[in-house]
């Protein structure tokens, strides 16, 4: 059994994989990470683990995890199952490394564009030869709503909502249109540009806003909310 720990910007996801299949996952707080890991080790008899962090986690917590399980900390030095052609590999987020690893594992010998709609929206391109070249980063949906509220005097902070209008007729509807529909148009535009250069392109959408976006894109995509966890499991397995 493999134990997967993904420390994100806003939450921690912890999961258990058995022979490549997800059998358990949940979100936890940073404060109870060690307690939860011990609980899952005992429940599922996990022997190996990997932790990826784009958020802050205490070194003392990492040390405690090393003491109770064979733990791999995902860094730029970790062995990965793809050829990394990113010009600044040490600055590449570990979440993006995991997503690319999932693409190589699940869609081998294919050109793949992975779109992660989370705190930020990331675009990552991997070709059929398992070569990773990079992509793009833009603000996520929540970040767009919050920035409109923070950097203006009168615009309210709203919860994400899709509207099919073309013309907003209130401040709220204008914001929803600009943020949500603007994000959808951005994603479709990126996909279209990639497909012009790659006729045979597989597109995967993942991240916290997958449900809001997936059925509203004009392009055909594979929606997979656990893609990052699958990528971390692929890296762990690759290093055992």
Residues assigned a catalytic role: 95
Per the rule left: phi > 0, alpha: psi between -120 and 50, beta: everything else, 167 is: beta
Cα distances from 163 to residues 34, 154, 193, 209, 236, in angstroms, run 42, 21, 25, 15, 41
Is residue 235 classed exposed, middle or buried when 0-12, 13-18 and 19+ CB atoms within 10 A define those classes? buried
Show binding-site residues. 6-13, 86, 93-96, 116, 119, 171
Contact 90, 105 (CB under 8 A): no
Show binding-site residues for substrate. 86, 93-96, 171
Contact 23, 3 (CB under 8 A): no
Question: Would you state the structure tokens that stand for residue 167, as one six-digit string?
Answer: 């013309």
């Amino acid at each position: 059994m493999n134990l997967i720990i993904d420390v994100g910007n806003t939450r921690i996801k912890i999961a258990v994989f058995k022979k490549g299949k997800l059998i358990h996952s949940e979100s936890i707080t940073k404060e109870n990470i060690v307690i939860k890991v011990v609980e899952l080790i005992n429940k599922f008899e996990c022997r190996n683990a990997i932790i990826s962090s784009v958020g802050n986690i205490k070194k003392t917590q990492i040390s405690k995890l090393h003491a109770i399980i064979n733990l791999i900390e995902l860094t730029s030095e970790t062995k990965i199952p793809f050829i990394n052609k990113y010009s600044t590999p040490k600055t590449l987020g570990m979440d993006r490394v995991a997503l690319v690893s999932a693409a190589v594992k699940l869609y081998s010998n294919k050109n793949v564009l992975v779109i992660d709609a989370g705190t930020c929206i990331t675009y990552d391109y991997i070709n059929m030869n398992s070569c990773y070249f990079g992509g793009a980063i833009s603000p996520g949906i929540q970040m767009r709503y919050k920035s409109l509220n923070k950097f203006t005097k009168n615009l309210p902070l709203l919860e994400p909502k899709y509207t099919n209008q073309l013309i907003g007729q209130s401040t709220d509807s204008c914001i929803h249109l600009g943020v949500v529909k603007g994000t959808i148009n951005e994603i479709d535009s990126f996909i279209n540009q990639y497909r012009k250069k790659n006729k045979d392109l597989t597109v995967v959408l993942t991240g916290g806003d997958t449900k809001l976006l997936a059925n509203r894109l004009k392009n055909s995509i594979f929606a997979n909310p656990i893609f990052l966890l699958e990528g971390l499991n692929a890296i762990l397995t690759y290093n055992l």
